[in-house]
Amino acid sequence: MADNNVYIRKIILSVLGFLLLIFSGISFYKHRHLEEHVVLGEGVTEVKKLSDYFDGVKGTINDCNIYILEGKEPGATLFVMGASHPEEPAGRLAPWIFVENGVMEKGRLIVVLSANRSGTTVTRLGGGYPPDYTIPTGWGEQKFRMGDRWANPLDQWPDPEVYIHYPSRQNLAYVDIRNLNRAWPGRPNGTLTEKTCYAFMELIRKEKVDIFIDLHEAELQYPVISTIVAHEKGHELAAVVSMVLTDMGEFNMGMEYSPKSLHGLSHREVGDFSDAISLLFEAPEPFLDATRGKTTREQLLTGKDEFIVKAGEHGLLFEKIDENGWPIDVRVGRHTSAVLMTMEIWTEEHPDMSLVCINVPGYAEVIENGIGYYLKDPFRANPERVIIE
Amino acid sequence: MNILMSIITVIYYLLVAYTAVILIYNLIKTKTWEKEALYIIVLLPFLLRLFRLK
Amino acid sequence: MSMFTYAGIILGVMVSIYIIAKIFKLSTELSMLAAAIAGGLAGGFRIPARHIAEGAMTYLDINLIFITATLFMNILKESGGVAFVVRRILKRFHRSRTLLFILLTLLLLIPGALTGAGSVTVLITGGMVAVVLNYMGISKVRTTAIVFIIAGLSAAAPPVSLWAMMTAAGVNMPYVGFFYPLLIPCVIAALLTIFILGWKGTGTDIEKAFEELPEPPEKMNWLRVILPFIIFLGLVFIGRQWPHSTPVIGLPLMFLCAAVTSFILSPVKVNFFKISGDTVEQLLPLIGTLTCAGILVQIMTLTGVRGLLAVSTVTLPVIVVYASLFFVLPVSEAVLMWGAAPVIGVPLVLLFNTIGLNPIVALAGMSVIWPLGDALPPTAIIGRLTVEIVGYKESYIRFLKACIIPAIIIMIIGTLMVIYSSELGFLTGL
């Protein structure tokens, strides 16, 4: 009898465990396989794959789309990269607006929306992240995958005891072997993340990229925020962009030098290992702060958080915050404006190598209309112009 | 190198599978409900990884 | 409702459920799970399967390190390797108390340092070292205290220090530069502990000690003991020396290789499956705690409770933080075990970083204090384990009293490391 009870208890507990496995498993599976539609704007002239530049990533989850916007007139080549850290949505939505709206009058624009595509399929352990977020549009809602700072362990496992960066041999945290922005310039026979970086370096070299911009967001407790981090080749350009943006009074944008001793980051290695000028833009994202309150989609998109305001009152933050938070429109607007301003300043200094982009909203317009205004309805678009990201 | 890395990854999945088998074996053997509950909770992440869900 | 009220209510619910669960004699692991589920319900998330599972995944890799490392240690013990080493050390060095103390300290430090778990030290070498200490004329209560304190320090010692690893991961800080900031205080405090508590004993009664220590198999020799360690350290060395021409192996597989070597070299027949089962059973309270702590932290983060604790901590006057470390850290450890690192450690390191302290040295200082909580209720898991393994049968309070002097020394060392972390910053670059 007693044995029977034990038997029944074991079955009941196992069923409960099984239900937990099923429900969570379905949620993880759906998140990893959520399809995001990109409607190619009239400016997109070609869509390539990353493996076109290095076949070592062919067939892997990181073989992402490469959107090319060839200008009507020749000029320089600008490469804008999103989702180097897929837990920073403004870094992904800003280039999305370029792909769906931008038209290059002069020069060429190359855009990536999911640099660490593997990282867009997983959320942070212990972070309580939502699996996705939706942006309201005029035609309904568009859903995006929320991601993590690191590639999914399902695509790269195990981690080493310590991560030794190639080629500098600098020691980094073991988990950062899956961090795309700690693996530059990559290597052809390395881990998936290193191979992905190597493939991007090949793209930069083969397409003769003149300027490379990596879009990020940062927690307010992190000192590198609301700024441009520039490789020495881009100091002058970044300084002028930051000065003009700040002087125009739209928003404050700082400028910092890429430290020579800090390895694996795009602003250092892309500049060192190619002819391109490398820049990294940081916008504020309160969602990433460890002092944040409830972890919700709303917090992710509005950036409103009482706890972080409280931390700010005690002088613990490197960027201001009030009850208005940091809405996603503001963060995306900062990025689109900063990219457009980079093109403008570059063109002033290099009239023979111009970069002129139209139809992309700047800071004020994105805030006024909302991001959704600039996202196209994939179900009403020409199916041939719709891509799965 | 790529092949070696793939082999190591497979070994890790085998290690996870072996541990899951041990956990299930111990779960069947154990007589206290607290240990049973704990075995099931501990088993969860191993199964999620084994089935490549997380 | 303001976020402070909302998170405060959930925190209240979680604490209440935890206390009720403990009153009903539920284990710490399941009490944490109950608190987490209650937190999810109170926060309006119902039973969030995704978050429970995601939290449970948090320490999967660390659990694998635990399991493989302990499997290695257990095979070594089962094959008679540990008894062999203890006997050889005793035979060779029994005339010099100082030298014997140093070697016994080393024996106690190694298993925990490699695995990150004080319990592994207690289980693998704790019992045998206790036998030797007893025959050196040291009372049972002091022996228990020595084993417990050094086992705790071994867990904090590098290369694997879970408190430091988990906190560093929580603030996106590389787990790099911790080796000497952790090693130096752990070794100093361990030696002080054994010398202070053990110095007063009588001469070593080697005959009696040999009678009680298990007899290793005849064919056991130094090579059979050392080769698995050479394999392990060799793999670590290869990974560090030629990281770009060798594949990533990872700590679990390194320990597994050492375990398999030890298994092959064992002079006696070892049942691999049985020992694996025993290892998992022995580790269940630890891997269970880590899994449930992961779930608890995930729900706390989801509901804003972690943020509430974090913002409350970082906005305290710094002097209050310094002055309460000796109390807050062991108590948080007693309640949450390693869960204390992401819950309390993360906001503290953020605060220290913001006010210009060296976060690595400060975190190392905190990591040395944390394990003291392992003797305190409600969990007291390592304390209880030590008492059991050493065979100490008197009052638990007496054992705690015997720990006081080394505990105070450790608290002082840890707190000073936090306060003077900037000045001690050079330790990270050694």
Cα C367 to Cα C353: distance, rounded to the nearest angstrom: 16
Query: Chain B closest CA to C31's CA: distance in Å?
Result: 11
CA C178 to the chain's CA centroid: 15
Q: What's chain B's Rg over C-alpha atoms?
A: 14
Contacts of B54 in chain A (CB under 8 A): 24-25, 28, 122, 154
**Phi/psi of residue C111, nearest 5 degrees:** -60, -45
In this prediction, residue C206 carries a pLDDT of 82
Express each pLDDT in A94-113 by its tens digit.
999 999 999 999 999 999 99
* C213 vs A328, residue with greater confidence: A328
Q: How much is the average pLDDT of A378-389?
A: 97
Q: H-helix or E-strand containing C18? A: helix C3-23
Cα C42 to Cα C13: distance, rounded to the nearest angstrom: 7
What is the residue-wise DSSP string for C191-256?
Answer: HHHHHHHHTT-----HHHHHHHSPPPPTT--HHHHHHHHHHHHHHHHHHHHSTTTS----HHHHHH
CB contact under 8 A, C253 and B15: yes
Contacts of B12 in chain C (CB under 8 A): 64, 250, 252-253
C 363-392 residues with CB below 8 A of A?
none
- The angle formed by the CA atoms of residues A347, A48 and A198, to the nearest 5 degrees, is 80
Cα C33 to Cα C51: distance, rounded to the nearest angstrom: 12
Which of C50, C57, C248 faces A160 most closely, judged by CB atoms? C248
In this prediction, residue C70 carries a pLDDT of 85
In this prediction, residue C389 carries a pLDDT of 82
Could you tell me the pLDDT band of residue A1, with boundaries at 50, 70 and 90?
Answer: low
Contacts of B53 in chain A (CB under 8 A): 24-25, 28-29
| Pairing between β-strand A103-112 and β-strand A73-81 as defined by DSSP bridges | parallel
Contacts of C60 in chain B (CB under 8 A): 45-46, 49
Which of A9, A10, A25 faces B53 most closely, judged by CB atoms? A25
Number of domains in chain C: 1
CB contact under 8 A, C27 and B38: yes
In this prediction, residue C340 carries a pLDDT of 84
Q: How much is the average pLDDT of A200-209?
A: 98
In this prediction, residue C344 carries a pLDDT of 85
**Subunits close to C (at least 3 CB pairs below 8 A):** A, B
A16/B contact by beta carbon, under 8 A: yes
Q: Which residues are CB-contacts of A182 (< 8 A; sequence separation ≥ 6)?
A: A163, A165, A172, A176, A264, A265
Which of C49, C58, C350 faces A221 most closely, judged by CB atoms? C350
Could you tell me how many CB contacts below 8 A there are between chain B and chain C? 80
Contacts of C278 in chain B (CB under 8 A): none
Q: How much is the average pLDDT of A306-326?
A: 94
Strands (E), C265-347: none
DSSP A178: G
In this prediction, residue C166 carries a pLDDT of 79
Query: Chain C closest CA to A315's CA: distance in Å?
Result: 9
User: Is the bond leading into C347 cis (omega within 30 degrees of zero)?
Assistant: no
In this prediction, residue A261 carries a pLDDT of 80
A294/C contact by beta carbon, under 8 A: yes
CB contact under 8 A, B48 and A21: yes
CB contact under 8 A, A164 and C240: yes
Cα A225 to Cα C207: distance, rounded to the nearest angstrom: 68
CB contact under 8 A, C67 and B19: yes
**In the predicted structure, residue A240 carries a pLDDT above the cut 90:** yes
Contacts of B49 in chain C (CB under 8 A): 57, 60
Could you tell me the pLDDT band of residue A321, with boundaries at 50, 70 and 90?
Answer: very high
CB contact under 8 A, A21 and B31: no
Mean pLDDT of chain A: 96
Reduced to 3 states, what is the DSSP secondary structure of residue A76?
strand
Per the domain annotation, does A16 fall within a domain? Answer: no
Q: Which residues are CB-contacts of C404 (< 8 A; sequence separation ≥ 6)?
A: none
C169/B contact by beta carbon, under 8 A: no
Alpha helices in chain A (DSSP H): 2-32, 90-101, 192-206, 235-247, 266-273, 297-302, 306-313, 328-349, 363-369
In this prediction, residue C174 carries a pLDDT of 74
| pTM of the shown model | 0.91
- The angle formed by the CA atoms of residues A153, A29 and A96, to the nearest 5 degrees, is 80
B 27-46 residues with CB below 8 A of C?
29-30, 34-35, 37-39, 41-42, 44-46
Cα A150 to Cα A160: distance, rounded to the nearest angstrom: 14
Express each pLDDT in A7-38 by its tens digit.
999 999 999 999 999 999 999 999 999 999 99
Q: What tokens appear for B11 in the block?
A: 């070994």
**In the predicted structure, residue B14 carries a pLDDT above the cut 80:** yes
Number of domains in chain A: 1
CB contact under 8 A, C291 and B4: no
Closest CA relative to residue A101, chosen from A338, A93, A66 = A93
Contacts of A307 in chain C (CB under 8 A): 3-4, 304, 307-308, 310-311
Residue-wise burial string across A175-209, b where 16 or more C-beta atoms lie within 10 A, e elsewhere: bbbbbbbbbbbbbbebbbbbbbbbbbbbbbeebeb
Per the domain annotation, does A10 fall within a domain? Answer: no
CB contact under 8 A, B9 and A17: no
In this prediction, residue C318 carries a pLDDT of 92
Contacts of B10 in chain C (CB under 8 A): none
Query: Chain C closest CA to B40's CA: distance in Å?
Result: 10
Q: Residue A52: how many CB atoms within 10 A of its CB?
A: 15
CATH code assigned at A100 = 3.40.630.10
CB contact under 8 A, B12 and A13: no
Mean pLDDT, 10 residues at a time, chain C of 430 residues: 96 97 92 96 97 95 87 91 88 89 95 84 86 88 97 93 84 84 98 94 79 90 92 89 95 94 96 96 87 92 93 90 94 81 85 92 97 86 85 92 97 97 93
Query: Chain B closest CA to C376's CA: distance in Å?
Result: 21
Contacts of B4 in chain C (CB under 8 A): 247
Q: What tokens appear for B36 in the block?
A: 């049973």
Domain containing residue C130:
3-429
A 158-187 residues with CB below 8 A of C?
158-162, 164, 166-167, 169, 171-177, 187
A15/C contact by beta carbon, under 8 A: no
CB contact under 8 A, B26 and C250: no
CB contact under 8 A, A25 and B1: no
Contacts of B44 in chain C (CB under 8 A): 53, 56, 291
Contacts of A311 in chain C (CB under 8 A): 311, 314-315
Q: Are the beta carbons of A192 and A155 closer than 8 angstroms?
A: yes
What is the residue-wise DSSP string for A37-69?
Answer: EEEPPTT--EEEEGGGT-GGGTTSTT--EEEEE
Q: What are A143's strand-pairing partners?
A: A134
Express each pLDDT in A246-260 by its tens digit.
998 889 999 999 988
ipTM: 0.98
Cα A32 to Cα A331: distance, rounded to the nearest angstrom: 25
Per the domain annotation, does A124 fall within a domain? Answer: yes
CB contact under 8 A, C280 and B23: yes
Q: Are the beta carbons of A149 and A119 closer than 8 angstroms?
A: yes
Contacts of C245 in chain B (CB under 8 A): 1
CB contact under 8 A, C239 and A160: yes
Domain containing residue A89:
34-388
